[in-house]
Amino acid sequence: MNTSWKRLNVGVVGGGIGGMSVAIALRRAGHEVIIYERSDFAGEVGASVSCAANGTRWLHEWGVDIAKGDPVVLKKLINRDWKTGEPVSVYSLDDYEKRWGYVYNMFHRQYMHSMLKDSALEEEGEGIPAKLLVNHKCRDIDLKSNKITFENGKIVHHDLIIGADGIGSAVRGILGIRPEKRPSDSSCLHANVDADEAAKLGLVNYSQDSALEYWGGQEGKWDKIVLSPCNGGKLLSYYCFFPRDQGDFTTQAWGAESLPVEDLLKPYPQLDRQVLEHLAIGKEIQPWRLWVHDPYPYIHQGNVCLLGDAGHPMMPHQSQGACMAIEDAAALGILFNKKYFNGDVAQALAAYEEVRLPRVTRVQSAAAKAAYNINERIGFSVNKDTPTYKVEDPKKVLTIEEMNAYDMYRDIEEKLAAKRGGLYTEKFICGLPIGLELPSGIIIGAH
Ligand SMILES: Cc1cc2nc3c(=O)[nH]c(=O)nc-3n(C[C@H](O)[C@H](O)[C@H](O)COP(=O)(O)OP(=O)(O)OC[C@H]3O[C@@H](n4cnc5c(N)ncnc54)[C@H](O)[C@@H]3O)c2cc1C
């Protein structure tokens, strides 16, 4: 126990996946947390969200009741031929839990969200239960006095303010960050398919594969179908990408009215008939507006920081958006815990930025590359025997080792030691063990 530790009164703007996660991490670290959410969560829809081992490990550490999220535990990544559906590249996850200690979960976002919300707010569990105030849309923050003003007129003060308000973040603008962004060259429509309904119609039962399945994505083409099962396999969540010039959507509105199924089928005259028959019974067809954001120069100022999509929106092609938000939350939970926090909020946030920015921007850039080349996607990135395998730079591909062998505690200790003039003697660099050889041939610590 560090004698200069003190309890903070924390305000979290945004009650999505990242906001709920950081509320859990900080209540466990001993702080009082209030989450301010602009919506009331009514009428939200969503689809599958990936939670690989680097996210799942924190759910375990925080004692989250994962069964409530009704996940599908993934066994494989399968890339299929666009026209025939034959597997082109398969990455087995059979030894995944043995290697990394945790499984790869696929959640439905709403189930995942309520699982995290329960953990943040319920009486049981470590620390003081967080409070949630809905219909609180942040309008402004005074960075000198740490006061948040909401559109409903309320003004509150907090010792630490976390902007977890998603891709369209208001807090980001308040911190003076003006994103360099452009619409992606691809558009995306999302559709849900009921696995039982597909089975009754005699269609292929993809839910039995317990796999993230991809059609296309090879040879620089934007056309790609991504299938992820969720809700214990009862729901098949399809993300359907195609070139933006074949259909542009100006809004990203999870929860908008369903588009006609013809819009979903139109871009894919040559697609494998088996998956096309699934799409033909797709429901809740919604556009997902995709923006490519260049990395931000900073993610904190004074006692305010950004977390999740607010700080590093990324394309969905590495399936790491939610995991990165969870990791951000974990980093804050550690930095403000009784062992490491010395009462200096700004110093802790400076360390947060140093720990998080390099890692999230690496994933962000790998996600942009995987948008048009599936061989850049974690997992497929090491399947070099695939006939069409080609990557921009084999030494720079993102690999499972880098994601899952990462030790955040060591990374934080290294950064704090540098700030506080302490000695750091662990055999880790930026959280990765010295000597670890990545499948890309890079050895951590070798020059
Ligand atoms: C309704 C919804 C459905 C989604 N569905 C999917 C999906 O199916 N698949 C997928 O891969 N990703 C989905 N996403 C995105 C995904 O959840 C995030 O990319 C990822 O989990 C990172 O989480 P986050 O907390 O940073 O952002 P989010 O989970 O997007 O949460 C941001 C939260 O901040 C709130 N907010 C925004 N502005 C303000 C403000 N000014 N004041 C107060 N609160 C504010 C939002 O209402 C939201 O609840 C969805 C996001 C939302 C909001």
pLDDT digits (tens, 9 = 90+) for 262-274: 989 999 999 999 9
Q: Is 98 a domain residue? A: no
Separation between Cα atoms, residue 362 and residue 355, nearest integer Å: 12
Name the residue type at position 127: G
| Of the residues 343, 378, 413, the one at which a domain ends | 378
Contact 250, 289 (CB under 8 A): yes
Residues 287 and 319 in one domain: no
Separation between Cα atoms, residue 344 and residue 6, nearest integer Å: 9
Contact 223, 216 (CB under 8 A): yes
pTM check: above 0.85: yes
pLDDT of residue 45: 75
Ligand 1 atom 5: residue of nearest CA: 46
Buried b (16+ CB within 10 A) or exposed e, 266-280: ebbeebbeebbebbb
pLDDT digits (tens, 9 = 90+) for 6-46: 999 999 999 999 999 999 999 999 999 999 999 998 777 77
311 lines ligand 1 (CB under 6 A): no
Contact 434, 419 (CB under 8 A): no
Mutate to test the pocket of ligand 1, among 38, 58, 251, 286 (most ligand atoms within 8 A of CB): 38
- Residue 318 Cα to ligand 1 midpoint, Å, equals 17
Number of CB atoms found within 10 A of residue 214's CB:
25
170 lines ligand 1 (CB under 6 A): yes
Q: Is 170 a domain residue? A: yes
Question: Domain span at residue 256?
Answer: 182-292
- Residue 113 Cα to ligand 1 midpoint, Å, equals 10
State mean pLDDT over 61-90: 95
138 lines ligand 1 (CB under 6 A): yes
163 lines ligand 1 (CB under 6 A): no
- Residue 233 Cα to ligand 1 midpoint, Å, equals 23
**Could you tell me the pLDDT band of residue 1, with boundaries at 50, 70 and 90?**
low
- Residue 166 Cα to ligand 1 midpoint, Å, equals 5
Residues 159 and 235 in one domain: no
Separation between Cα atoms, residue 128 and residue 116, nearest integer Å: 15
| Of the residues 292, 322, 354, the one at which a domain ends | 292
pLDDT digits (tens, 9 = 90+) for 161-209: 999 999 999 999 999 999 988 888 888 999 999 999 999 999 999 999 9
Ligand 1 atom 6: residue of nearest CA: 46
Determine the Cα angle at 364 with ends 363 and 370, to 5°.
85
Is the pLDDT at 72 greater than 70? The verdict is yes
Closest alpha carbon to 194 in 107, 315, 279, 305: 279
Q: Is 253 a domain residue? A: yes
